[in-house]
Amino acid sequence: AQSVTQLDSHVSVSEGTPVLLRCNYSSSYSPSLFWYVQHPNKGLQLLLKYTSAATLVKGINGFEAEFKKSETSFHLTKPSAHMSDAAEYFCVVSDEADSWGKLQFGAGTQVVVTP
């Protein structure tokens, strides 16, 4: 069975400093991994996805994530936080063989950006 653990429920960063959101996953087969962002009172928007090609994935708005199979991790980073990055972030795993294409969400990480 697949599962996702986001290691931080809240992250607070200063504008201009790096952002790190940690995600560990469990999957029996070959997972696809996604990061979604949810701004207040909005739906979910895809930031980036890993699909067994390059392990370093670049997304929108300067975010990137690295897939590390040995550590079962897919951490999200951004070199310099912007005020507009304040939102909730979800790590998501999907394994076609293991879960018939269902998306399994982490509990979310709330990011606060201070001036």
Partner 1 sequence: DADVTQTPRNRITKTGKRIMLECSQTKGHDRMYWYRQDPGLGLRLIYYSFDVKDINKGEISDGYSVSRQAQAKFSLSLESAIPNQTALYFCATRRSGASTEAFFGQGTRLTVV
Q: Confirm or reject binding of residue 115 to partner 1 (CB under 8 A).
A: no
CA distances to 22, 27, 96, 103, 113 from 99, rounded to whole Å, are: 23, 9, 6, 8, 36
Q: Confirm or reject binding of residue 26 to partner 1 (CB under 8 A).
A: no
- The rounded distance, in Å, linking the Cα atoms of 44 and 47 is 9
* Contact stretch for partner 1 (CB under 8 A) within 14-22, 46-54, 57-65, 69-77: 46-54
Q: Confirm or reject binding of residue 34 to partner 1 (CB under 8 A).
A: yes
| From candidates 39, 42, 68, 82, binder to partner 1 by CB under 8 A | 42
